[in-house]
Chain A
Amino acid sequence: MQQENSVEKKLKEKIREVFDGFELVIGYSQSKIPLKVNPLFIKGKEEIDGLIFNKLCINNLATYSYALSNELKGKIGIVLKPCDARSVSQLISEELLNKDRVKSIVVGCAGILDYKKIYKEIGGLKIISADIKDEQIIIDTIDESFTLEAKNFYAGKCYSCKIYDNPPYYDEFIENESKLNIEQENEYEDVEKFEKLNLEEINAFWDLQFGKCIRCYACRNICPLEICRDKCIAQLDVPHWQSQKINSAEGKFFQLIRVFHLAGRCTECGECERVCPANIQIMKLMKKVNKDVLKLFNYRPGYNLDEKPPLLTFKNVEKNIKEEELI
Chain B
Amino acid sequence: MENISETNKDINNKDINTNSRKNGVKIVAFLCNWCSYAGADSAGTSRLRQPEDIRIIRVPCSGRINPLFVLKALTQGADGVLVSGCHPNDCHYSDGNFYARRRLEILKEFLPVIGIDERRFSYQWVSASEGQKWQKVVINFVKRIREIQG
The answer for the CA separation of A102 and B137 in the assembled complex, in Å, is 51
Contact partner, A284, options B67, B113, B123, B141, Cβ 8 Å: B113
From A201, which residue of chain B is reached at the shortest CB distance? B115
Residue A128, interface by CB 8 Å: no
The answer for the CA separation of A285 and B122 in the assembled complex, in Å, is 21
Q: Do the beta carbons of B98 and A316 come within 8 Å of each other? A: yes
Q: Do the beta carbons of B112 and A326 come within 8 Å of each other? A: no
The answer for the CA separation of A203 and B115 in the assembled complex, in Å, is 5
Contact partner, A199, options B68, B75, B117, B122, Cβ 8 Å: B117
Q: Do the beta carbons of A252 and B112 come within 8 Å of each other? A: no
Main secondary structure of the interface of B (DSSP, over half): helix
Residue B146, interface by CB 8 Å: no
Q: Do the beta carbons of A257 and B68 come within 8 Å of each other? A: yes
The answer for the CA separation of A159 and B72 in the assembled complex, in Å, is 35
The answer for the CA separation of A205 and B137 in the assembled complex, in Å, is 34
Residue A232, interface by CB 8 Å: no
Cβ contacts under 8 Å, A324 to chain B: 122-124
Q: Do the beta carbons of A249 and B141 come within 8 Å of each other? A: no
Q: Do the beta carbons of B88 and A327 come within 8 Å of each other? A: no
Give me 21 A-to-B residue pairs in the complex whose CB atoms sit less than 8 angstroms apart, sorted by A's number.
A195-B112, A199-B112, A200-B115, A203-B115, A206-B114, A241-B72, A256-B114, A259-B110, A284-B113, A285-B114, A296-B102, A296-B105, A314-B98, A314-B101, A314-B102, A316-B88, A321-B101, A321-B102, A324-B124, A326-B137, A326-B141
Near B by CB (< 8 A), chain A positions 289-327 give 289, 292-293, 296-297, 310-311, 314-316, 318, 321, 323-324, 326-327
Contact partner, B95, options A202, A256, A314, A326, Cβ 8 Å: A314
* A residues lining the B interface (CB < 8 Å): 191, 194-195, 199-200, 202-203, 206, 233, 241, 249, 252-253, 256-257, 259-260, 263-264, 284-285, 288-289, 292-293, 296-297, 310-311, 314-316, 318, 321, 323-324, 326-327
Cβ contacts under 8 Å, A195 to chain B: 112-113
Q: Do the beta carbons of B122 and A202 come within 8 Å of each other? A: no
Q: Do the beta carbons of B99 and A292 come within 8 Å of each other? A: no
Cβ contacts under 8 Å, B136 to chain A: 326-327
Q: Do the beta carbons of A326 and B102 come within 8 Å of each other? A: no
> Chain A nearest CB: distance from B86 CB in Å?
14
Q: Do the beta carbons of B102 and A318 come within 8 Å of each other? A: yes
Residues A293 and B106 in contact in the complex (CB < 8 Å), given A241-B68, A288-B113 = yes
Identify which of B66, B71, B109 gathers the most chain A CB atoms within 10 Å of its CB.
B109
Residue B92, interface by CB 8 Å: no
Cβ contacts under 8 Å, B137 to chain A: 326-327
Identify which of B67, B117, B136, B137 gathers the most chain A CB atoms within 10 Å of its CB.
B67
Residue B89, interface by CB 8 Å: yes
From B111, which residue of chain A is reached at the shortest CB distance? A199
The answer for the CA separation of A293 and B110 in the assembled complex, in Å, is 11
Q: Do the beta carbons of B110 and A289 come within 8 Å of each other? A: yes
B102-133 Cβ-contact flags toward A at 8 Å (1 or 0):
11011101101111110000111100000001
Residue B19, interface by CB 8 Å: no
Residue B149, interface by CB 8 Å: no
Cβ contacts under 8 Å, B123 to chain A: 323-324
> Chain B nearest CB: distance from A159 CB in Å?
21
Identify which of A194, A233, A323 gathers the most chain B CB atoms within 10 Å of its CB.
A323
Contact partner, B133, options A259, A292, A314, A327, Cβ 8 Å: A327
The answer for the CA separation of A314 and B99 in the assembled complex, in Å, is 6
Residue B23, interface by CB 8 Å: no
Contact partner, A292, options B68, B75, B95, B110, Cβ 8 Å: B110
Residues A206 and B75 in contact in the complex (CB < 8 Å), given A296-B106, A314-B101 = no
From B125, which residue of chain A is reached at the shortest CB distance? A323
From B109, which residue of chain A is reached at the shortest CB distance? A292
Residues A316 and B68 in contact in the complex (CB < 8 Å), given A252-B114, A321-B101 = no
